[in-house]
Structure 1
């Protein structure tokens, strides 16, 4: 259903005045006097008089003595406008990274990312997204990962943490990621050490892994790259729905992957 001109005018009426939005939101929560509204919003009595009059004309509020409160339709408008603001704030936050988000894999409302921490590379800190991951890994006690890559820095932190008996690690990686580790003499031995640790379990997936995601304790983490493999951003959040999704994606890839043991790695250095 397309919005009518009248409904768009009402959206404009609210959006052009932060005080209108604030007053309606307050009255949707509970009753307030004009003095209380002035204290909460900082609006003058004259401004509040106009706002309350406009709201009364629309039957968005009702008055009982000195107190005002929102009607059922006033509460409906307040809730709807709050949702719209959340959507737009989330869109603005994700605007620069939306093309890199694996949204086709998401099974949660993207608004759940409204409070996420987004880490972008900069000229002075081009590896800022990876550094954000490493800081989380250095504190994490339980790590579950699915990825198409396993870089040296991440391997080093995980190997050290599991080796110190302060972290458990479960990972599902693409076969290409495992082949890259085997092909690098400086990484093959540390990776073998990780696999020999009973606190670490790794599986491989021949079909590949289309996302790079981790659950580190209570935090869900996404590492975002473009089609050329260039690191573009990291997103992490403690949101319950996003964390549940990350666990579900891990378990789905885990069930479809092959266990990898230290003995499965080649022992010779490639020519």
Structure 2
């Protein structure tokens, strides 16, 4: 009876992955072919490598069964597609960790309705600023200059509220709808200045701007002009927020749909007895 040498197979697999990962150009060729067939000349132009280097890369990839040649065109094999898909996921995970090393372990990935790897295409706002509210101020400035704002508020911060009120005074306020998550409304209710500002905004707008639901949100989500998403996560130490700015289509779509679903079951905040504060 034959015994399977799993250790040897695993070692070979690790060496094969290392062979691929060691060359950015090999990965780039697979990435290009993942989008469809390419001619040698197209690959040469896209990669910018020397002709002899490309020939060596194509030969290596073809030898391993990852690509195939038909005339002057190259394409991924079924096996090559599987290899590239898994490698792309690994690269995305590592990129996410390198982009946000201090907060990646605190991202509410189960709450996100998108692949968190997409956030690697975003950036951390004001991450080296000494002011703990610098990142939140960036969000407030985005609100002030926006045409539309849709927001889910899990942890209240007053800067966007006052930015909206200031924009309203100058007649430049965005079309805004904000939903407070469970527990957040008590911050507004218990602070007379904030409560007065909310009531003044809605009185001037002539319609409801603020809404509330009972469920909590693990972070704040601001969708600005349907183009940019700001995810604000409360810091565990030192106060303030870590804010990720991202415009990846999947992140924007999630923010839009998440807000719309939440908004349909939210109650107007000003209609709540606790919001009146008399």
Distance 1:176 1:24 in 2: 49
What is residue 277 of structure 2 aligned with on the other side? Answer: 266
What is residue 96 of structure 1 aligned with on the other side? Answer: 102
Matched, 1:233 2:242: yes
Cα gap change, 1:231 to 1:70, in 2 (>3 Å): same
What is residue 249 of structure 1 aligned with on the other side? Answer: 258
Runs of 5+ in structure 1 lacking a partner? none
Matched, 1:192 2:199: yes
Matched, 1:167 2:178: no
By how many angstroms is 1:11 displaced? 1.0
What is residue 138 of structure 2 aligned with on the other side? Answer: 132
Runs of 5+ in structure 2 lacking a partner? 1-6
TM-score by length of 1: 0.77
Distance 1:56 1:131 in 2: 52
Aligned ranges for residues 57-96 of structure 1 at < 5 Å? 57-61=63-67, 67=72, 69-70=74-75, 72-73=77-78, 75-76=80-81, 77-78=83-84, 80-96=86-102
By how many angstroms is 1:191 displaced? 2.2
By how many angstroms is 1:43 displaced? 4.1
TM-score by length of 2: 0.75
- Match of 2:121, SS? coil
What is residue 4 of structure 2 aligned with on the other side? Answer: none
What is residue 117 of structure 1 aligned with on the other side? Answer: 123
- Match of 1:104, SS? coil
What is residue 187 of structure 2 aligned with on the other side? Answer: 180
> 1:162 touches 1:200 (CA, 8 Å); kept in 2?
no
RMSD: 3.5
Distance 2:131 2:163 in 1: 20
Matched, 1:203 2:214: no
Distance 1:26 1:130 in 2: 38
By how many angstroms is 1:26 displaced? 5.1
By how many angstroms is 1:266 displaced? 2.5
Distance 1:199 1:17 in 2: 58
> 2:144 touches 2:174 (CA, 8 Å); kept in 1?
no
